[in-house]
Amino acid sequence: IATSIIKILLFVPWCITVGGTILMWPNQLEWIAFQTGYIDSPEGIHRFAHWAEIGHHYVMIFLAFLACLLWTLPPLARVTLVIGLLSRFAHVWHEFQVDWSLPLGLHDKQSIYLLATSGGCGLSERLSIQKTEAGFVV
């Protein structure tokens, strides 16, 4: 029962952390999102669907927390924090390129990128999904 109480108390901080990880450290999503005991780690197309369904909620929770935090900070600290976060975001995402040979859901960063840059479920209407032995590919 103590474990359940701890998980309940840490749920919102975990959601904030997952949202921040999506934006700032997407290569660590497996560890932060799935290895903490809140949800099981889906695989393949199910993992892509997981991020398509609720990934944006985590990001919005993180951004809401960030807005509240910025509200409480003095101006110089606000500017410093925003510059630091934007620098990290740019560093992580500036040279990312999609590897179309990877099955959907295999690489979290690629899944997040596809979802953020395309409409709907993260795939353009011009693209088609094919099932291969390795999984579903675009």
Is residue 122 over pLDDT 60?
no
**What is the domain partition of the chain in residue ranges?**
2-137
Q: Regarding beta strands 130-131 and 136-137, do their DSSP bridges make them parallel or antiparallel, or are they unpaired?
A: antiparallel
pTM of the model: 0.86
Contact 137, 126 (CB under 8 A): no
Q: What is the pLDDT of residues 33-44, one digit of tens each?
A: 999 888 999 998
Long-range contacts of 1-7 (CB under 8 A, 24+ apart): 7/37, 7/38
Per-residue confidence band for 134, with pLDDT thresholds at 50, 70 and 90 = low
Q: Two tokens at 28?
A: 């660590």
Is residue 18 over pLDDT 90?
yes
Is residue 126 over pLDDT 60?
no
